[in-house]
Amino acid sequence: MGVDITVLVIDWEHLMEIAPDDRLEVLQESAYADDDSDLDIDAGWVWPAEPDRSWLGRYEFGGTLGSYKPHFWAAHAWDHVRGEAERELRAALDGFLSALIWWGPEVDTDAEHVDAGVFPSGARLWRSGPLIARGPQTVAHLNRYWQAAAPVLPQLREPYARHAPSPWGWTADFEDFTALLSGWAETVGEAERRRWGLIGLPL
């Protein structure tokens, strides 16, 4: 799975003012624009200084080099340990992860990651990689899922060590797994705080 992901928080009102047929292209061009000065950020937020890009922020997941593989393997690990989770945690992480992480190249499941009305047609967005588009209302739901999951997440430490360790993989242990989830929680939380949306591009 040689794909990348660029995760953005987006001023949704601004995005909705862009013609639907132009939104994806504008997002792709605005994610990095022509300024390479912010390419050296390895982890955390990049807030463009240019006024014409003030409607977005980019989040870099530390240690992933922009690859989608860590996200895919985190979802894979969750599949291996979810049966060990108590009902509250299982429901919360199912809701959180299934809305954000693309499990594999299936058109039907892929389309579920794009809220209705963001782009003209889900079929036209099909490509080899993830695309996430979650508006402010969905983001608020995702933040609630995370708030329910976070306090009880440590209960997965021992099951993870038994069922999902991958010493040579992207999510080698429970710490790697929770670090990646915390990155998603950071993006969801920031988007919710601003009442913005969340976009994931295969860039």
What are 50-83's pLDDT values in tens digits?
Answer: 888 899 999 999 888 888 888 888 888 898 899 9
pLDDT at 165 over 80: no
The pTM assigned to this predicted structure is 0.88
Helix (H) or strand (E) holding 132: strand 132-134
Report the b/e string of 49-65 with b at 16+ CB within 10 A.
eeeebebbbbbbbeebe
d(CA 120, CA 111): 12
Residues above pLDDT 90, as percent of the chain: 48
Q: Which two tokens stand for residue 86?
A: 């108590």
In a domain, 197, yes or no: yes
**Among 6, 3, 135, which Cα is nearest to 72's?**
3
**Among 154, 10, 24, which Cα is nearest to 93's?**
154
What are 183-197's pLDDT values in tens digits?
Answer: 999 999 999 999 999
Look at residue 198 and give its three-state secondary structure.
strand
Residue 132 forms beta bridges with which residues? 200
User: Structural domain of residue 91, as residue ranges?
Assistant: 6-201
pLDDT at 103 over 50: yes
The reported pLDDT for the residue numbered 111 is 47
Taking each helix axis from N to C end, the angle separating 87-98 and 69-81, rounded to the nearest 10 degrees, works out to 160
What is the bridge-based pairing of β-strands 56-60 and 6-10? antiparallel
The reported pLDDT for the residue numbered 105 is 45
pLDDT at 30 over 70: yes
d(CA 58, CA 48): 8
Count of domains forming the chain: 1
What is the bridge-based pairing of β-strands 44-46 and 132-134? unpaired
Q: Using 50, 70 and 90 to split pLDDT, how confident is the model at 139?
A: very high
In a domain, 30, yes or no: yes
Exposed/middle/buried for 151, CB within 10 Å: 0-12, 13-18, 19+? Answer: exposed
The reported pLDDT for the residue numbered 125 is 55
In a domain, 96, yes or no: yes
Q: Using 50, 70 and 90 to split pLDDT, how confident is the model at 202?
A: confident
In a domain, 41, yes or no: yes
In a domain, 1, yes or no: no
User: Cα 111 to the chain's mean position, in Å?
Assistant: 15
Exposed/middle/buried for 37, CB within 10 Å: 0-12, 13-18, 19+? Answer: exposed
